């Protein structure tokens, strides 16, 4: 990615024409009504014309985006939960013209139960933490203002050659689990403290695995990029070595092997009511890595989740909770691991990834990030 471009901003034209992908079944099933009631009038006033496409099933959006004539649209607006944005981004990266396709501006309007991206963009804009219709209105106003900002993208490789991209998070452990007995796979879809999480705490268990990461400042490209020539394309992840090999020696390997959860997070929020990364917005090429080691009590976990609503959980001084900003990571589990990537299920024994800096454009406030992290040098990708 051209460094001169990495801190640049952009804007949608006026008037502009957008494709709206909406999942009518998302969240409480009111997305379509909310679009018609709250979003449409604002778009009309702001000279944003649109075509509405309603998704009918899982992967429908992904297929639509893969086949779509992208030149017709100034932006793709996604009104649903984070899962739909995940589908759209992976659909764009699946195209033969992925390198330009991924530059198509995206906009996230909250419509589902997990609206982390919308909540994070709301936070970057300096707005108060809000939910539901207030969050929807804020995000729609941002779309009407048309300013764009580049966002990081997490490039992932899992065992058996699985390749995918994450716009928000990868979670393992308590946050994503499988009911082995009933053979139903599910993730904690509603990412706020709910009755469901309460019962998850009743069944609290630990997960065995090995976690390693590349902290900021230690970044040096490996000699053999993990993805030499891909039929599929996608960026070269030069910090990563093949999964079959041990991580490079300058990586940090976490000595403990029993965890309650591991979370790689690209933004500040996990939902409109979970301010997970109060340390603020990540610099280009960096992501948040949290993990909770085994040994933490149910009470402490409850306390952390409650405090997370206002971003106060880091002040709980919980010795089991560890935070580190990183540019790449690898997580290998004992047996079949259940991961939640942007809220979507991934089952694999091992996964690794690195952050591709400022890889996609999103409707945002166009403000400069104001955290200390933004002063840090983005990791330099030295040629091999």
Partner 1 sequence: MGGSGSRLSKELLAEYQDLTFLTKQEIVQAHRRFSELLPRDKQNVEDSLRERVSFEDILSIPELKANPFKERICKVFSTAPSRDSLSFEDFLDLLSVFSDTATPDIKSHYAFRIFDFDDDGTLDREDLCRLVNCLTGEGEDTQLSASEMKQLIDNILEESDIDRDGTINLSEFQHVISRSPDFVSSFKIVL
**Residue 110 near residue 116 (C-beta atoms within 8 A):** no
In 3D, which of 102, 65, 83, 77 has the Cα closest to residue 22? 77
CB of 180 to partner 1, least distance (A): 9
Unique residue bearing structure tokens 């206002």: 310
Unique residue bearing structure tokens 């944005």: 85
Looking only at residues 59 through 118 of this chain, which bind partner 1 when binding is defined by CB under 8 A? none
The residue (of 302 and 350) whose beta carbon lies closer to partner 1 is 302
**What letter would DSSP give residue 39?**
I
The residue (of 328 and 346) whose beta carbon lies closer to partner 1 is 346
Output phi, psi for 242, to 5 deg. -50, 145
Tokens of 67: 């086949």
Question: What is the x/- site pattern for partner 1, positions 224-263, by CB under 8 A?
Answer: ----------------------------------------
Distance CA 14, CA 128 (A): 28
Distance CA 145, CA 65 (A): 24
Helix axes 116-124, 82-93, angle to 10 degrees: 90
**Residue 93 near residue 119 (C-beta atoms within 8 A):** no
Helix axes 82-93, 60-67, angle to 10 degrees: 40
The residue (of 196 and 246) whose beta carbon lies closer to partner 1 is 196
C-alpha 178: how far from chain center: 21
CB of 134 to partner 1, least distance (A): 16
CB of 326 to partner 1, least distance (A): 30
Q: Under DSSP, is residue 294 helix (H, G, I), strand (E, B) or coil?
A: coil
The single residue of 82, 94, 237, 342 carrying the catalytic annotation is: 82
28 binds partner 1 (CB under 8 A): no
Question: What is the x/- site pattern for partner 1, positions 345-374, by CB under 8 A?
Answer: ------------------------------
CB of 296 to partner 1, least distance (A): 12
**What letter would DSSP give residue 35?**
I
The helix or strand, by DSSP H or E, that contains position 21, with its residue range, turns out to be strand 16-22
| Count of residues engaged in binding partner 1, rule: CB under 8 A | 23
Question: What is the x/- site pattern for partner 1, positions 279-308, by CB under 8 A?
Answer: ------------------xxx--xx--x--
The residue (of 98 and 193) whose beta carbon lies closer to partner 1 is 193
The residue (of 83 and 379) whose beta carbon lies closer to partner 1 is 83
Annotation says 82 is catalytic: yes
**What letter would DSSP give residue 282?**
P
Looking only at residues 148 through 207 of this chain, which bind partner 1 when binding is defined by CB under 8 A? 179, 181-182, 184, 186, 192-196, 198-203
Active site residue ranges: 82
Which residues contribute to the site for partner 1 (CB under 8 A)?
179, 181-182, 184, 186, 192-196, 198-203, 297-299, 302-303, 306, 309
């Amino acid at each position: 990615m051209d460094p001169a471009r990495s801190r640049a901003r952009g804007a949608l034209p006026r008037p502009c024409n957008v494709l709206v992908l909406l999942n009518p079944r998302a969240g409480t099933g009111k997305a379509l009504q909310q679009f018609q009631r709250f979003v449409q009038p604002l778009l009309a006033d702001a000279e944003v014309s649109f075509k509405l496409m309603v998704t009918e099933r899982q992967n429908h959006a992904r297929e639509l985006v893969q086949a779509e004539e992208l030149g017709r649209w100034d932006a793709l607006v996604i009104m649903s939960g984070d899962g739909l944005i995940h589908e759209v981004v992976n659909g764009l990266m699946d195209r033969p013209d992925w390198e330009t396709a991924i530059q198509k501006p995206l906009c996230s309007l909250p419509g589902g139960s997990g609206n982390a991206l919308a909540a994070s963009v709301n936070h970057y804009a300096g707005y108060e933490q809000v939910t539901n219709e207030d969050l929807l209105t804020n995000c729609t106003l941002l779309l009407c203002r048309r300013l764009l900002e580049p966002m990081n993208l997490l490039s992932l490789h899992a065992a058996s050659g699985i390749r995918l991209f994450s716009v928000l998070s990868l979670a393992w452990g308590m946050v994503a689990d499988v009911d082995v007995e009933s053979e139903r796979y599910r993730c904690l879809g509603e990412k706020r403290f709910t009755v469901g999480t309460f019962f998850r705490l009743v069944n609290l268990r630990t997960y065995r695995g090995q976690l390693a990461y590349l902290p900021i400042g230690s970044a040096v490209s490996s000699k053999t990029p993990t993805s030499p020539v891909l039929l599929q394309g996608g960026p070269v992840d030069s910090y990563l070595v093949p999964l079959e090999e041990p991580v490079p020696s300058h990586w940090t390997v976490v000595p403990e092997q029993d965890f309650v959860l591991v979370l790689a997070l690209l933004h500040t929020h996990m939902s409109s009511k979970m301010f997970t990364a109060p340390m603020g917005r990540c610099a280009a090429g960096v992501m948040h890595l949290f993990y909770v080691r085994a040994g933490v009590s149910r009470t402490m976990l409850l306390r952390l989740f409650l405090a997370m609503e206002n971003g106060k959980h880091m002040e709980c001084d919980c010795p089991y909770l560890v935070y580190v900003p990183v540019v790449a990571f690898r997580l290998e589990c004992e047996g079949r691991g259940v991961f939640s990537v942007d809220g979507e299920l991934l089952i694999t024994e091992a996964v690794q990834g690195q952050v591709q800096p400022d890889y996609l454009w999103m409707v945002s406030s166009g403000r400069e990030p104001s955290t200390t992290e933004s002063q840090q040098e983005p990791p330099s990708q030295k040629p091999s």
